[in-house]
């Protein structure tokens, strides 16, 4: 594929991702998504009896048409880290020079940076110290905002319903 065609495809893909309406945790067919308690799913790295097993909870936000991932927020307790860690995966096309902001309900905003991007999206890692983790457990909604390459804001809302209970299931 010629380089110009590859660049055009990439730009078109990024523009498509930026035009995605506010993402929801489920497709629009599921009108009761915010009322459900199973928005947070659990995934583990190995079988239950494996000593190397680590688990995390995650919520994936998808487009209403096509089921494409727009964003994902995962939280777990890595064995080598005393604190919980969050991973936010955002769409391609965000400005890496700008901060990403996360606000739990009406509390103060926390700022962090995307570390790298792959064809799966842009990855940011957050050390979830007790204050922030407590806000997530008690909160109703996390608002994540970043800036697209064209300067427009990207706003993503994540329901925290069921977060505390799901995290309890994977905590050490």
- pLDDT tens readout for residues 30-53: 444 444 557 999 999 888 888 888
Q: Which residues contact 31 (CB under 8 A, 6 or more apart)?
A: none
Q: Which residues contact 40 (CB under 8 A, 6 or more apart)?
A: 57, 58, 59, 162, 163, 166, 167
pLDDT in tens, 107-163: 999 999 999 999 999 999 999 999 999 999 999 999 999 999 999 999 999 999 999
pLDDT in tens, 112-122: 999 999 999 99
Q: Write down all domains in the chain, each with its CATH number in brackets.
A: 3-170 (2.60.40.1880)
Q: From CA 31, how far away is CA 20, in angstroms rounded?
A: 18
SS3 at position 161: coil
Please say whether the beta carbons of 47 and 38 come within 8 A.
no
How many helices (H) and strands (E) are present in the chain, helices listed first?
3, 10
pTM (2 d.p.): 0.76
């Amino acid at each position: 594929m010629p380089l110009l065609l590859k660049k055009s495809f990439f730009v078109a893909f990024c523009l498509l991702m930026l035009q995605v309406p506010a993402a929801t945790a489920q497709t629009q067919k599921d009108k009761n998504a915010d009322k459900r308690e199973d928005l947070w799913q659990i995934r583990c790295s190995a079988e239950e009896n494996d000593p190397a097993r680590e688990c995390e909870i995650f919520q994936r936000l998808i487009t209403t048409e096509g089921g494409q991932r727009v964003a994902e927020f995962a939280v777990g307790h890595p064995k080598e880290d005393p604190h919980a860690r969050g991973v936010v995966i955002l769409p391609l096309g965000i400005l890496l020079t700008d901060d990403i902001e996360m606000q739990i309900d009406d509390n103060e905003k926390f700022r962090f940076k995307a570390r790298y991007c792959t064809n799966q999206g842009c990855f940011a890692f957050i050390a979830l110290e007790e204050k922030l983790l407590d806000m997530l457990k008690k909160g109703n909604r996390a608002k994540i905002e970043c800036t697209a390459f064209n300067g427009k804001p990207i706003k993503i809302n994540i329901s925290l319903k069921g977060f505390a209970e799901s995290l309890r299931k994977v905590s050490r």
